[in-house]
């Protein structure tokens, strides 16, 4: 087997750096070439000379960073190898959010796999994770403790099914909000999903590029107050924390 290079991908202040291709992965500061695993803000930043990403990741970044020039984005499909210098890269679905990818890097016969954030649970709003072989696995260990176990998503969402209240549900705008919308549509279809205006643009990108037809409405104060208490209002964290005076609603926050 060819030699594994201990310095193939190293941590720098700007992000993860591959000297053999002279590019960064999920750079935190402006660099010449940034290969982005997914569009969450702790992985996807602005100001780079070139950003290489999947179509959905690029779309989310273009919305969030509207001043980033469009010509700086280079979109690559999943499972479509491309070269940066002598390194062959391939985006592999990570199952985390729409467009999220693991980054497979092949160099001199060795396969290095950077997972980025990933999810193995079923989620119809994004591409399911693909498992591939690699010689070196590079992954974050946020939940590597085998004693840490997340509750079943369907079991959790069913807790909202028969509550005789409208529900104010805090969640992250990208990824979490769309998954919750799908879970409510599937398992609590009697619940109307209302979406905060800061979440709405991400829902619409999912509508354009995803494969799950979500049912939801933009938030309207009158709709929330009228009729049966059958609404779930999705709001981002900052807004959730500001609604401490909200009455006649039950508050919950989706984490994990």
pLDDT tens digits, one per residue of 185-205:
999 999 999 999 999 999 999
> Residue 23: is its pLDDT beyond 80?
yes
The reply to whether 10-138 and 153-253 are identical in fold is no
Task: State the CB neighbour count (10 A cutoff) for residue 193.
Answer: 22
pLDDT at 246 over 70: no
195/204 Cα distance (integer angstroms): 11
User: What are the beta bridge partners of residue 91?
Assistant: 78, 103
pLDDT at residue 255, as a whole number: 82
Give all strands (DSSP E) within the chain, no chain letters: 10-12, 15-18, 23-25, 33-35, 50-53, 73-75, 82-84, 87-93, 101-107, 110-114, 136-138, 166-170, 192-195, 217-218, 231-235, 249-253
**150 burial class (0-12, 13-18, 19+ CB within 10 angstroms)?**
exposed
For residues 111-125, give the mean pLDDT. Answer: 96
Domain boundaries, the chain: 10-138, 153-253
Lowest mean pLDDT among 15-19, 117-121, 199-203: 117-121
pLDDT in tens, 61-86: 999 999 999 999 999 999 999 999 99
C-alpha 141/C-alpha 120 separation (Å) is: 15
Would the CA dihedral through 76, 82, 86, 92 be positive or negative? positive
What is the dihedral angle through the alpha carbons of 201, 240, 227, 200, rounded to the nearest 10 degrees?
0
Fold classification of 10-138 is: Metallo-beta-lactamase; Chain A (3.60.15)
pLDDT at 244: 63
- Asked if residue 37 has pLDDT above 80, the reply is yes
Fold of 153-253: Rossmann fold (3.40.50)
Instruction: State the DSSP code for 175.
Output: T
3-state secondary structure 3-66: CCCCCCCEEECCEEEECCCCEEECCCCCCCEEECCCCCCCCCCCCCCEEEECHHHHHHHHHHCC
Whole-number Å distance between alpha carbons of 100 and 116? 8
User: For all residues of the chain together, what is the average pLDDT?
Assistant: 94
Tokens encoding 13: 């202040």
Distance CA 100, CA 79 (A): 13
Q: pLDDT at position 144, please?
A: 72
């Amino acid at each position: 087997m060819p030699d594994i290079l201990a310095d193939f991908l190293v941590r720098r202040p700007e992000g993860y750096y591959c000297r053999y291709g002279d590019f960064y992965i999920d750079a935190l500061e402006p660099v010449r070439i940034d290969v982005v695993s997914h569009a969450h803000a702790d992985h996807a930043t602005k100001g780079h000379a070139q950003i290489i990403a999947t179509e959905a990741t690029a779309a989310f970044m273009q919305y969030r960073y509207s001043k980033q020039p469009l010509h700086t984005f280079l979109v690559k499909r999943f499972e479509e190898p491309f070269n940066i210098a002598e390194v062959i890269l391939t985006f592999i679905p990570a199952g985390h959010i729409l467009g999220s990818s693991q980054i497979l890097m092949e160099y001199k016969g060795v396969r290095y796999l950077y997972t980025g954030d990933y999810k193995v649970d079923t989620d119809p709003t994004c591409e399911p994770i693909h498992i591939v072989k690699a010689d070196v696995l590079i992954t974050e260990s946020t939940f590597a403790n085998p004693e840490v176990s997340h509750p079943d998503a369907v079991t959790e969402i069913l807790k909202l099914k028969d509550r005789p209240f409208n529900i104010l549900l805090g969640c992250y705008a990208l990824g979490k909000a769309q998954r919750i919308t799908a879970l409510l549509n599937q398992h609590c279809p009697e619940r109307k999903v209302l979406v905060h205006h800061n979440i709405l643009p991400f829902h619409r990108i999912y509508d354009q590029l995803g494969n799950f037809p979500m049912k939801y409405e933009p938030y309207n104060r009158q709709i929330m107050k009228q009729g049966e208490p059958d609404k779930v209002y999705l709001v981002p964290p900052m807004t959730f924390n500001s609604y401490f005076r909200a009455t006649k609603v039950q508050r919950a926050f989706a984490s994990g």
